[in-house]
Structure 1
Amino acid sequence: MVLIGGRLVSLGFAGTEEAAGGVYDISTTVHRPDIFDRNGRLLATDIRGATLYADPKRVIDRDELAEKVASVLSDVNAGSLRKRLAAGGRFVRIKRELTPMQQAKIYELGLPGLGFIEEYRRVYPVGATANHVVGLVDVDNRGLAGIEKFVDNNPQLTMMNAPTESGDEAVTVSLDVGVQHVLREELKSAIDTYKAKAAAGIVMDVHSGEVVGLASLPDYDPNHREQALDKEKINRIGFGVYEMGSVFKVFTVAGVLDLGLANLNTTYDATGPIRFGGFTISDFHGKHRPLSVTEAFIYSSNVAHAKMAVQMGVPRHRAFLKKLGLLDPVTTELGPSAAPIVPQHWQKLNTMTIAFGHGLSVTPLQLATATLPLVNGGIAVKPTFLPRSREEAMQSSERVLKPATSAALLKLMRMNVVKGTGKKADAEGYRVGGKTGTAEKVVGGRYSNSALLNSFLSVFPADDPQYVVLVMLDEPQRVAVTKGYATAGWNAAPTVGKIVARIGPILGVPPKLEDTVSRFDAKVSASY
């Protein structure tokens, strides 16, 4: 008894060899701060989960253990586990992140040699709803993408946020889960309705630059990180580059207006197509007559906008787009966006085609960001995925356009919804303004009129701009509901209208429901 007692005392003071099957704790994984949306709704948190392991020296029957464990855990290969147990050692990790039900079933097996380690496991209560912004973590709870990765690279961020009631650190993002849900749901509906390959959208505060909604479909559930490996599930808003088509005309018009080269009544000859260097630039539905700037915009004339850009000249046109941020990646908390594809040798023909959205590929995030000064009075605000007041944003931003240019663009964008190609984007009471974009994709080295990338760039309310909404649909088809048309006015525009009607109340933008046309619309109609 004395010998046994002495041995027990000595063992009590002895250290445990590494991986010797002793006591394991949650220190093997990183504990992360909770992530909340702007209204305090939980987007990501840690829970304690179990990792199953085996101590080969305590296993009585390797074959029995391997077979029974594999019968409970379908993704565990019995043969592979048997070989790992036979290799010896004191620690064989079998599976991480067990569900409580799986852990209970393993307990019920009653097999010697099995044990559990308690580790932190990251969970995302809203699933795929905010995946491209929140991001995801690896099996060791380290950030791989999105805000999760940003938090790891900026540990001081949690010190800027109030801790939770339990005292844990937390991070708040600019997203609104309500807006996120609507945006994602309407994009999914658009894919189903118009038989599109993919869809993406973003909602931004025009004064603060906050991103309050961002969705890109198809997407993935970060609770199942293996889904993120699918290359089709990328964040198209920030990391896909596209020729965006006629939405680019807002920048062309802004350029000639801001440089004092034209006003809304200045006319450009759109009688016939432009032939230059073996290329022909024509209008989809040409009016075959001179058009004012206003008419060119609402009829979406390629010819007139090409002539506006030529009037600016190649150097000034390029400099204007660069000033708006369209020639450089946009950097946010999610990292730098994909780099735009800019002509290596920018010539006159490039200026003409870029004027109506071909020949320059950008990310939708760049496009939405460049639109902010066009609708907020002329201030270039940087986008952010963290909360920021409008006052803070304005203090750190600079003016890039005259206020009068912004006022004119708002008038044109509203007019385009009232009388032009964006009629189906109107949401009652919210005075939506916007521009359609129907771009032919390059297929086999040539532009294809059957593979379209459609978009609608909008602002609401146009008489008191608060938010920019951009929606993009990849290869929508000619379906019965669009009467056989596949252009943006028939699919991207009505999608925006549905989104605005639903997010307006969430964002606290009151609708103005009047029996007669509003003073702003009356002013728009009079100027037209």
Structure 2
Amino acid sequence: MRLWRRKGGGPAQAGAIVVEGARKAGGGRSRSRVFMAMAVLFAIYAAIGARLVHLGMAEEDVARLPESRPTASRPDIVDRNGEVLATDIKTASLYAEPRRIAFIDETIEKLQTVLPDLDYEQTYRRLDSDAGFVWLRRQLSPRQQAEILALGIPGLGFRTEKRRFYPGGPTASHILGLVNIDNKGIAGLEKYIDDQGLADLQALGLASPETLKPVRLSIDLGVQHVLRDELARAMERYQAIAAGGVILNARTGEVMAMASLPDYDPNNPHNALEKDRLNRMSAGVFEMGSTFKLFTTAMALDSGLVSIDDRFDATRPLRFGRFTINDFHGKHRVLSVPEIFIYSSNIGTAKMADVVGIEGHREFLKRIGLLNRLETELPEVAHPTEPREWKKLNSITISYGHGMATTPLQTAVAAAAMLNGGKLMPPTFLPRSQEEAQAVARQVISPETSAQMRYLFRLNAEKGSGRRARVEGYSVGGKTGTAEKVVNGRYSSDARFNAFIAGFPADDPDYVVLVVIDEPKPERPGIGATAGLNAAPTVANIIRRAAPILGVQPDFGHESEALLVSYQ
């Protein structure tokens, strides 16, 4: 008898049917649990993915904001000896993600404990938005960054940016200029560098510290410090409202130093746009007074119509209608050309200009660059002013420095041409060799005339108004200029613009120094406030300190008397 059959009914077959049904029921429940687990996992991963996509899109929005772009790199600026004048440093800037800030008022109140000048209303508007990124404060100090971090405010962060740093502070501020918050040049040589192609490199993303070479200037930092320091002392000593100065290489046209006071600190230029902080040396025009007698005398001698041995009658004042032209300290006699120069005679100078004539006078001033806008790297350069129509009276007054205005830097450049053999060259704030200078120079007066002007310069420092510019060990020549300023449409004897221009060594100058002092007061009661009493000694102090730095050796055995070199 069999208990199991392959087919058919019976107990064995029935049992087999029951087992098969149980297996099918268990398999269905397992598959359901798998599907449910997969669904849960899928939902979790979908949620994570959606969050990642959201965050990715938020980051993309941040990147699109122009404010969040890193500041561009700039090249270092160095002086002629490699001393750093301007460089980039890293700094932290504070930003916020408004979407993550829950309590705006509390956030601002905490920040004001570190940044007390943070504007509440403006900051609130920035934070009360759906923006993904807003700047709160650019270019923080390390201490400010550390204190804000200690506050532990969610939704705030820092980005590393570049900030321009000027190690010398205000020492060369008007030369170097300024950059804005995004490290773009907006004034001075910083702007010049941008205009020469840096801005294009930055736009293309090609400006990096590795690719930018330092920009070397003609400036000597040591000489620059001396010049500014002496100008500051002069302002205080003579209670002046302003002062300025420049030192030029007479053989190359290089600016070795230039300063204008009051100035500003480019590291904190909050007052840079104040009116009295104008760069008077290149961006201001002034009547330069008797320094213009240098050019009138050179014009007369170079014309061939006047010789250095000629004499002019300065006995009586000149009269033109209701105008009378007199000498400040008149000799009331006939004067030779050297006497006209050292006694600074308005009458004698006017008569020399009259010999040349109106057209010849204007042509000469244009030839030596005093009627045109100066060409140099510095963007802040003013245009000279002159009469719309030159009449005889205009020519006469301009001959001794009234009636037209030019920049002090322009005056120094023209003066260098009078002393260096007659070659006018545009000034430069970049290094220039003598060969390069000769290539851009123009002969504006003859070498013979230039030699005569050097003689007159030296003579004036020995016997004339420039005596206080003498420096022991150095031969110095120069010319004073004391110009009355126009106040309420009239010339005022109480407000003067003083100047002294010098060349040293006087027999063949390597350097020209010009100093201007605006509205100086008498150093003590009972004495005047002319250029010979304040601008000339200031130049002497500058030469005494700067000459050794410039490599000009003192000569304590040099001939003290001015000699006229003959070219015959």
Name the aligned partner's letter for residue 61 of structure 1. F
1:206 to 247, 250, 268: 250
Who is 1:277 aligned against?
321
The verdict on how the C-alpha distance between 1:166 and 1:212 changes in structure 2, with shifts beyond 3 A counting, is: same
Does residue 378 of the first structure (1) align with residue 422 of the second (2)?
yes
2:355 to 311, 317, 332: 311
Q: CA deviation at 1:9?
A: 6.3
Q: Please state whether the residue corresponding to 2:272 is helix, strand or coil.
A: helix
Name the aligned partner's letter for residue 509 of structure 1. V
Q: Which deviations, in whole Å up to 9, do the C-alpha atoms of 1:274-296 show, x marking residues without a partner?
A: 00122100000000000000000
Does residue 195 of the first structure (1) align with residue 239 of the second (2)?
yes
Given that 2:62 and 2:68 are in contact with CA atoms closer than 8 Å, whether structure 1 keeps it comes out as no
Does residue 511 of the first structure (1) align with residue 554 of the second (2)?
yes
Who is 1:92 aligned against?
134
Name the aligned partner's letter for residue 446 of structure 2. K
Q: Which deviations, in whole Å up to 9, do the C-alpha atoms of 1:48-78 show, x marking residues without a partner?
A: 1111111111113211110010110122023
Q: CA deviation at 1:418?
A: 0.9
Q: CA deviation at 1:264?
A: 1.8
Does residue 170 of the first structure (1) align with residue 210 of the second (2)?
no
Q: Which moved more, 1:85-94 or 1:62-71?
A: 85-94
Who is 1:120 aligned against?
162
1:494 to 519, 525, 537: 537
2:79 to 1, 25, 37: 37
Given that 2:188 and 2:380 are in contact with CA atoms closer than 8 Å, whether structure 1 keeps it comes out as no
1:216 to 245, 260, 265: 260
Who is 1:142 aligned against?
184
Q: Which moved more, 1:177-186 or 1:166-175?
A: 166-175
Which runs of no fewer than 5 residues in structure 2 stay unpaired? 1-40, 202-206
Given that 2:483 and 2:496 are in contact with CA atoms closer than 8 Å, whether structure 1 keeps it comes out as yes
The verdict on how the C-alpha distance between 1:378 and 1:23 changes in structure 2, with shifts beyond 3 A counting, is: closer
- 1:51-130 paired onto structure 2 within 5 Å: 51-130=93-172
The verdict on how the C-alpha distance between 1:47 and 1:2 changes in structure 2, with shifts beyond 3 A counting, is: farther
Q: Which deviations, in whole Å up to 9, do the C-alpha atoms of 1:406-438 show, x marking residues without a partner?
A: 000001001101111011111111211100000
Does residue 253 of the first structure (1) align with residue 293 of the second (2)?
no
Once residues 7 and 121 of structure 1 are traced to their aligned partners in structure 2, the CA distance between those partners, rounded to angstroms, is: 42
Does residue 421 of the first structure (1) align with residue 465 of the second (2)?
yes
Once residues 402 and 241 of structure 1 are traced to their aligned partners in structure 2, the CA distance between those partners, rounded to angstroms, is: 28
Name the aligned partner's letter for residue 168 of structure 2. V
1:48 to 75, 90, 93: 90
Given that 1:26 and 1:118 are in contact with CA atoms closer than 8 Å, whether structure 2 keeps it comes out as no
1:396 to 427, 430, 440: 440
Once residues 310 and 291 of structure 2 are traced to their aligned partners in structure 1, the CA distance between those partners, rounded to angstroms, is: 20
1:443 to 483, 487, 491: 487
Given that 2:77 and 2:84 are in contact with CA atoms closer than 8 Å, whether structure 1 keeps it comes out as yes
Q: Which moved more, 1:491-500 or 1:92-101?
A: 92-101
Q: CA deviation at 1:263?
A: 1.9
Given that 1:157 and 1:171 are in contact with CA atoms closer than 8 Å, whether structure 2 keeps it comes out as no
Who is 2:497 aligned against?
453
Q: Please state whether the residue corresponding to 1:417 is helix, strand or coil.
A: helix
Q: Which moved more, 1:166-175 or 1:214-223?
A: 166-175
Once residues 164 and 63 of structure 1 are traced to their aligned partners in structure 2, the CA distance between those partners, rounded to angstroms, is: 40
Once residues 239 and 24 of structure 1 are traced to their aligned partners in structure 2, the CA distance between those partners, rounded to angstroms, is: 34
Q: CA deviation at 1:225?
A: 2.4
Name the aligned partner's letter for residue 561 of structure 2. D
Q: Which moved more, 1:256-265 or 1:98-107?
A: 256-265
Who is 1:363 aligned against?
407
- Provide the TM-score with structure 2 as the length reference: 0.87
Does residue 151 of the first structure (1) align with residue 151 of the second (2)?
no
Once residues 113 and 17 of structure 1 are traced to their aligned partners in structure 2, the CA distance between those partners, rounded to angstroms, is: 14
Once residues 40 and 298 of structure 1 are traced to their aligned partners in structure 2, the CA distance between those partners, rounded to angstroms, is: 42
Name the aligned partner's letter for residue 63 of structure 1. D
Given that 1:373 and 1:400 are in contact with CA atoms closer than 8 Å, whether structure 2 keeps it comes out as yes
Q: CA deviation at 1:355?
A: 0.6
- 1:452-471 paired onto structure 2 within 5 Å: 452-471=496-515
Once residues 282 and 44 of structure 2 are traced to their aligned partners in structure 1, the CA distance between those partners, rounded to angstroms, is: 67
Which runs of no fewer than 5 residues in structure 1 stay unpaired? none
Name the aligned partner's letter for residue 297 of structure 2. V
Once residues 371 and 298 of structure 1 are traced to their aligned partners in structure 2, the CA distance between those partners, rounded to angstroms, is: 17
Who is 2:344 aligned against?
300
Once residues 483 and 524 of structure 1 are traced to their aligned partners in structure 2, the CA distance between those partners, rounded to angstroms, is: 37
Q: State the superposition RMSD in angstroms.
A: 2.4
Once residues 199 and 294 of structure 2 are traced to their aligned partners in structure 1, the CA distance between those partners, rounded to angstroms, is: 37
Given that 2:174 and 2:188 are in contact with CA atoms closer than 8 Å, whether structure 1 keeps it comes out as yes
Higher Rg of the two aligned structures: 2
Who is 2:394 aligned against?
350
Name the aligned partner's letter for residue 35 of structure 1. I
Q: CA deviation at 1:490?
A: 0.3
State the identity %.
50
Q: Please state whether the residue corresponding to 1:280 is helix, strand or coil.
A: strand
Once residues 100 and 124 of structure 2 are traced to their aligned partners in structure 1, the CA distance between those partners, rounded to angstroms, is: 14
Once residues 522 and 276 of structure 1 are traced to their aligned partners in structure 2, the CA distance between those partners, rounded to angstroms, is: 37
Who is 1:523 aligned against?
563
Q: Please state whether the residue corresponding to 2:174 is helix, strand or coil.
A: helix
Once residues 461 and 483 of structure 1 are traced to their aligned partners in structure 2, the CA distance between those partners, rounded to angstroms, is: 34
Q: Which deviations, in whole Å up to 9, do the C-alpha atoms of 1:369-397 show, x marking residues without a partner?
A: 11121011011111111111111111221
Given that 1:329 and 1:336 are in contact with CA atoms closer than 8 Å, whether structure 2 keeps it comes out as no
Q: CA deviation at 1:487?
A: 0.4
The verdict on how the C-alpha distance between 1:15 and 1:86 changes in structure 2, with shifts beyond 3 A counting, is: closer
Given that 1:238 and 1:337 are in contact with CA atoms closer than 8 Å, whether structure 2 keeps it comes out as yes
Given that 1:478 and 1:486 are in contact with CA atoms closer than 8 Å, whether structure 2 keeps it comes out as yes
- Provide the TM-score with structure 1 as the length reference: 0.94
Name the aligned partner's letter for residue 493 of structure 1. A
Q: Please state whether the residue corresponding to 1:239 is helix, strand or coil.
A: coil
Q: Please state whether the residue corresponding to 1:225 is helix, strand or coil.
A: coil
Once residues 24 and 83 of structure 1 are traced to their aligned partners in structure 2, the CA distance between those partners, rounded to angstroms, is: 19
Q: Which deviations, in whole Å up to 9, do the C-alpha atoms of 1:466-501 show, x marking residues without a partner?
A: 011000000000121x85210000000000000001
Does residue 326 of the first structure (1) align with residue 366 of the second (2)?
no
Once residues 63 and 397 of structure 2 are traced to their aligned partners in structure 1, the CA distance between those partners, rounded to angstroms, is: 68
Q: Which deviations, in whole Å up to 9, do the C-alpha atoms of 1:451-471 show, x marking residues without a partner?
A: 000000111111121011000
Once residues 562 and 266 of structure 2 are traced to their aligned partners in structure 1, the CA distance between those partners, rounded to angstroms, is: 48
Q: Which deviations, in whole Å up to 9, do the C-alpha atoms of 1:354-376 show, x marking residues without a partner?
A: 11000011011111111121011
Q: CA deviation at 1:28?
A: 2.9
Q: Please state whether the residue corresponding to 2:293 is helix, strand or coil.
A: helix
Given that 1:463 and 1:520 are in contact with CA atoms closer than 8 Å, whether structure 2 keeps it comes out as no
Does residue 132 of the first structure (1) align with residue 174 of the second (2)?
yes
Once residues 134 and 199 of structure 2 are traced to their aligned partners in structure 1, the CA distance between those partners, rounded to angstroms, is: 37
Once residues 349 and 24 of structure 1 are traced to their aligned partners in structure 2, the CA distance between those partners, rounded to angstroms, is: 59
